[in-house]
């Protein structure tokens, strides 16, 4: 997937949210695929130490397995979003199966923001889901999940041309954990030095840009 989606891609899918329109020096950190024991708690602790908020796009079956961890995310003031129940690739399943999986996740996660796993979603799926959800993509994809990408390269991707309103995607999964921790620590230090605010994504803040 694209680390920094192009203007052309954004024009092709104007109903998706690629960044957040804001007048503040704000960056929007997001985490996909949790909650994951041993990883998500670490993220919550370091975010607290920097007084930073983030958005966690959770997989429904993980919420079902780890409800206390999910509640910790919510109770500490972070936002949550729907990331399907089974982490489905929208290009590989039927529209109906995909929508049913999203709704199964919605029974566990009280949120009207949604992110498609792998960033892969069909036009038909978008057409239906945009009536109920704000579909959130990203402006920066760290590639912390990719074994071919070093932690230094992942950090470089995350910091490249960073600007207010950017949505950065990291992963609170076991596969990404080591790289994600390196990127997140350095990213938090960098944003603090720059005087940027780390905010969660709320439905009211989203607008097509």
- Helical residues (DSSP H) of the chain, grouped into ranges: 7-12, 40-49, 60-65, 67-75, 95-106, 123-129, 151-159, 177-194
Residue 43 and residue 184 in contact, taking contact as beta carbons nearer than 8 Å: yes
What is the Cα–Cα distance from 187 to 95, expressed in whole angstroms? 37
171 is catalytic: yes
Cis peptide before 35 (omega within 30 of 0): yes
Q: Where is 30: in which H helix or E strand?
A: strand 26-32
Given the residues 87, 144, 171, 172, the one annotated as active site: 171
Given the residues 32, 101, 144, 166, the one annotated as active site: 32
What is the Cα–Cα distance from 84 to 101, expressed in whole angstroms? 6
- Residue 63, phi-psi category: left (phi > 0), alpha (psi -120 to 50), beta (remainder): alpha
- Catalytically active residues, by annotation: 32, 171
């Amino acid at each position: 997937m694209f680390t920094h989606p192009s203007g052309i891609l954004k024009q092709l899918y104007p109903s998706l949210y690629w960044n957040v329109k804001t007048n503040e020096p704000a960056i929007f950190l997001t985490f996909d695929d949790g909650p994951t024991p041993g990883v998500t708690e670490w993220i919550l602790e370091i975010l607290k130490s920097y007084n930073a908020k983030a958005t966690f796009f959770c997989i429904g079956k993980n919420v079902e397995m780890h409800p206390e961890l999910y509640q910790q995310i919510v109770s500490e003031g972070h936002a949550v979003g729907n990331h399907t129940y089974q982490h489905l690739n929208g290009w590989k399943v039927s529209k109906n199966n995909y929508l049913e999986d999203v709704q199964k996740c919605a029974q566990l996660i009280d949120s009207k923001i949604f992110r498609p796993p792998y960033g892969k979603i069909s036009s038909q799926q978008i057409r239906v889901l945009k009536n109920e959800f704000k579909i959130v993509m990203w402006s920066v994809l760290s590639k912390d999940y990719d074994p071919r990408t070093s932690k230094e390269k992942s950090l470089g991707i995350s910091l490249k041309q960073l600007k207010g309103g950017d949505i950065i995607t990291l992963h609170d999964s076991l596969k990404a954990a080591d790289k994600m921790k390196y990127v997140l620590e350095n990213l938090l230090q960098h944003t603090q030095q720059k005087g940027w605010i780390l905010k969660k994504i709320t439905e009211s803040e989203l607008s097509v840009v």
